[in-house]
Amino acid sequence: MKKYTLKFIAIGILTIVSPIVSFGQSNQGIVNNMEIQIIDKPKILVVGFTLHTSFENNRNKSEIPPFFHSILEEGKLDNITERVNNNQLCIFEMQQDTPDFKYTMGVEIFNNSNISPDMTVINLPASKYVMLKIVKRGPEDVGRAFEYIYKKYIPNSIYVPTGKPAFIYYDDNFFSIYNKDGYKGDPIATVYVPVKSLFIKKIARIFKCF
């Protein structure tokens, strides 16, 4: 039986959305002239539809894209009550020691008192996040962003992943373009990865300055 460690999960996130990205691939241009930021976000209450998928046999690569476009194009999130705004999120919930994970497309809500039983409610805790805005022309752009964050930025920072869900945020910067011109219009999405500072990495950074 395969053992799926936290390292595997971090690597797996890179392959969820981009089957063509490899760790040896150049990162040139993946951030589209936009900079990484570290921000604090309050807790977020999300409701949406969940796809149960897996890294096993590359199911995620064939199952996520049609699920994403089905939810988006059929407007399945449009009539949810108690919505905070018109934005949408794609959330990755993964655990250690299993190839299976949950992928949820949802919206922010004020409360979950009137939620349909076929929907999922997720509480994203308040956290510090690595935030990166990207031009999303397709799933490979999201894969490159995750690769950049996990393989380039975090190892050279004072931060480590918390293990809580990462997510992609779609707001008016995305929909105002996508609804008119699709991906060819270069809509902008935002990738969030929850992190925490690690004391030993802070000390190492201090000594590196000498």
Domain contains 1: no
Candidates 12, 51, 28; CA nearest to 166 is 12
**pLDDT recorded at residue 15:** 47
Cβ 185 vs Cβ 210: under 8 Å: no
Q: Which residues span the domain enclosing 151?
A: 6-208
Domain contains 133: yes
3-class secondary structure, 96: coil
Domain contains 115: yes
Domain contains 90: yes
**pLDDT recorded at residue 135:** 92
What are 70's two structure tokens? 């089905």
Domain contains 142: yes
Domain contains 154: yes
Domain contains 105: yes
Q: The domain spanning residue 170 has which CATH number? A: 3.20.80.10
Chain centroid offset of residue 173 CA: 16
**pLDDT recorded at residue 95:** 78
Query: How many distinct structural domains can be found in the chain?
Result: 1
Question: In degrees, to the nearest 5, what angle opens at C-alpha 196 toward C-alphas 191 and 200?
Answer: 135
For 128, list phi and psi in degrees, rounded to 5.
-85, 140
**pLDDT recorded at residue 29:** 40
3-class secondary structure, 85: coil
Cβ 178 vs Cβ 146: under 8 Å: no
Those residues of the chain that have pLDDT short of 70 are: 1-34, 199-210
